[in-house]
Amino acid sequence: MAQGCGNALVRLGGTFSGPMTGARHKFGRLDGLRGVAALAVVLYHLPGPLHALAPRGYLAVDLFFLLSGFVIAAAYEERLRDGAMSLGTFALVRLKRLWPLYGLGVVVGVLAFSLVRTLRPDAPFLFPDMPLAAAIAMSLLFLPQLGYGGPAFPFNSASWSLSVEIFGNLAYASMAKSLRTPMLAVVSAAGLAGLAIVMWRNGDLNVGVSGTSMAGGYLRFVFAFPLGALLYRLDGRLPQVEVPAGLPLLVTAFAFSGALPDLMVAAVLFPAVLIASRRGAPMLQWAGMLSYPLYILHPPLIAAMEALVPAEALPVASLAVLGLSLGGAALANRYFDRPVQGRFAHA
């Protein structure tokens, strides 16, 4: 199965108030960016012609970490810095937002794993040398399986970026009071230097998903998240760019085509897209709402398809799984995530 890619998973876009941040901000058209990036991840993981539509879909993780830094800073930084929000409260808010769908993704992954093991016990499946129950418990606690060549999260390869996100968020919140603007720039620059080394060694930025490449995944966060927070702090000094509404979406889709080097996409193209998209009328908010469930639910479905479906039938099966992933994301958003977040909001 192709390497997984992650989603920073904060509710973006438009003017909103909700469980994702608990604050009200104008974020222009960022929902549309999330939607395009989430679809690119799915296409990247699918075999055959659909994969060719987004051969660098793994770069979505860099965009999501960037957007996360921007929105998390907007929603929480002031309260963290003046003491109005404690680290514990911040952690609880983030867990409430991230864990329900994350946990659902683990459950779907365990079911897919069990199905493959039952129907195709001979199918190749990299799995850590540990009891099944222990692997499930570690997955549910955001703890990666390190030191082996398979996915750091064997039931759902997409979980790796959520693990990086939650621990990265906690590190940021713990330092928020003393994290000055120049230090954000220094940290992001250090992350960029690390990514340059990753590019030199690997030829791309497709790291983080396996138990042997999690360090590279953290480097991607260390560059992109502080840069997003920095862009928020500099928001008033950034240019007010007037561009056609759909242009940032087209540029984002182009970013996953492989026409540009990965480092240029992550360090130049994505920040430019964020700057151009942070203002304007809300656009494609439904795509932003579906991006998290789409991201977290599709990897086990694709893994099961690749293990159970004959190679000659994969093109047709891929279309079916794409439709199933989109439909499942819509159902999970409507009947699972929204009710759960509504209960949290009124608790």
pLDDT tens for 235-277 read 888 887 788 888 999 999 999 999 999 999 999 999 999 999 9
* pLDDT averaged over every residue in the chain: 90
pLDDT tens for 34-92 read 999 999 999 999 999 999 999 999 999 999 999 999 999 999 999 999 999 999 999 99
Q: Is residue 143 part of a domain?
A: yes
Q: Say yes or no to pLDDT of 190 above 80.
A: yes
Q: Is residue 1 part of a domain?
A: no
Q: Is residue 4 part of a domain?
A: no
pLDDT recorded at residue 24: 45
Q: How far apart are CA 209 and CA 158, in angstroms?
A: 7
Q: Are 59 and 255 in contact (CB under 8 A)?
A: yes
Q: Is residue 316 part of a domain?
A: yes
pLDDT recorded at residue 114: 94
pLDDT recorded at residue 13: 33
Q: Is residue 5 part of a domain?
A: no
- DSSP state, 336? I
State the Cα torsion 301-304-306-308 to the nearest 10°: -140
Q: Is residue 180 part of a domain?
A: yes
Q: Say yes or no to pLDDT of 119 above 50.
A: yes
Work out how many domains the chain is built from and give that number: 1
Q: Is residue 10 part of a domain?
A: no
Give the predicted TM-score (pTM) of the model. Answer: 0.92
Q: Supply the range of the domain harboring residue 261.
A: 15-345
